[in-house]
Amino acid sequence: MSAILQVRSLTKHFKDVQAVNGLSFAIEPGTCFGLLGPNGAGKTTTIEMIEGITEPNSGEILYKGKPRDGSFKLETGIQFQSTALMDYLTVTEVLDLFSHLYPRVLPRQQLADLCHLGDFLDQPAAKLSGGQRQRVLLALALINDPQLVFLDEPTTGLDPQSRRAFWQLIEDIKSAGKTVVLTTHYMDEAEQLCDRLAIIDHGRIIAEGSPQQLLQQHFDYVFVCIDRQDFPAHLDPATLAPSDAPAGAGATPPGVVAVNGSQVAIKSHAVEETLEQLIQQRVKLNSLRVRNPTLDDLFLKLTGHSLRE
């Protein structure tokens, strides 16, 4: 299957700052491609160059195998991180206004149904909640029935319930056959929505693949997590040396313990053996939790700092 979008050796610098440094990737049609990284990693700059808002210093961007032309703008939709709406227009009036910008648009009712706008079509934009506002902005990005949709950190600032409702909207867009390019710094969002990820730090891609592929490639252990208060007073968690790491483990030696606030996380290749050792050390297991590594753990492993920093 031919890529709908190809980026080759893309670079962008601002004075002494190298914001994007030689990015290359390809996006298959009908998929959700994620650019995952902390604030300042170069995600927004990258998609702004693809969208044509910012000119790259070097590199090549191909849409359907060719340099972008007038069809690119007509066949793409963009939801920016922040967009000003006309506060004294109703949602219906905002949709009607934007519909005059394109030669071909989706019917208003279809947009309202797709983005769940029916309960507030007659409300002024100034009175919308955060989640409602984001749904209106998504509708504006879809108003021209685009083949390629850019969503730049669309759930930032939303409460958990609104975030998950928005995730379902993105799933619905994918189900309609559209291609989605999503930037985010939420690991759970990327794992939930993206078919393929490019993890970016300091303008470079440090890992690329499906979320499952990336985690399987970099982790052969789980985390055994216990509250610090469940350890005997005389026992320093950092002194634990689990004996369950396989020989030649390399980057994951035994005894590596992360103490995050009140919780202790122990790398374990064999949970049963780790638990036996903890019981021998008289560690209570009241708060025991075993979890799989996440994309945040992957980012920490690859860069030495958290995804949210």
Q: What is the average pLDDT value for the chain, to the nearest integer?
A: 87
Q: Taking 50 as the threshold, does the pLDDT of residue 243 lie above it?
A: no
Cβ atoms of residues 288 and 226 within 8 Å:
yes
Q: How confident is the model at residue 198 (pLDDT cuts 50, 70, 90)?
A: very high
Phi then psi dihedrals of residue 119, to 5 deg = -75, -15
Give dist(CA 263, CA 274) in Å, integer: 16
DSSP 36-74: E--TTSSHHHHHHHHHTSS--SEEEEEETTEE--HHHHH
pLDDT digits (tens, 9 = 90+) for 79-100: 987 788 888 899 999 999 999 9
Q: Is 165 exposed, middle or buried (0-12, 13-18, 19+ CB in 10 A)?
A: middle
pLDDT digits (tens, 9 = 90+) for 273-283: 889 888 988 99
pLDDT of residue 158: 86
Higher pLDDT, 149 or 296: 149
pLDDT of residue 284: 92
CB atoms within 10 A of CB 210: 14
Cross-strand pairs, 17 = 14
Q: Taking 80 as the threshold, does the pLDDT of residue 249 lie above it?
A: no
pLDDT digits (tens, 9 = 90+) for 6-19: 999 999 999 888 99
Q: Taking 70 as the threshold, does the pLDDT of residue 242 lie above it?
A: no
DSSP 78-137: EE-S-----TTSBHHHHHHHHHTTSSS---HHHHHHHHT-GGGTTSBGGG--HHHHHHHH
Higher pLDDT, 306 or 223: 223
Q: What separation, in Å, do the N-terminal and C-terminal C-alpha atoms of the chain show?
A: 37
pLDDT of residue 41: 86
pLDDT of residue 277: 87
Give dist(CA 161, CA 42) in Å, integer: 28
Higher pLDDT, 70 or 238: 70
Reduce the DSSP state of residue 272 to 3 states and report it: helix
User: What is the helix (H) or strand (E) element at residue 94, kind and residue range?
Assistant: helix 91-99
pLDDT digits (tens, 9 = 90+) for 202-236: 899 999 999 999 999 999 999 999 998 898 888 87
Alpha-carbon Rg for the chain, nearest whole angstrom, is 23
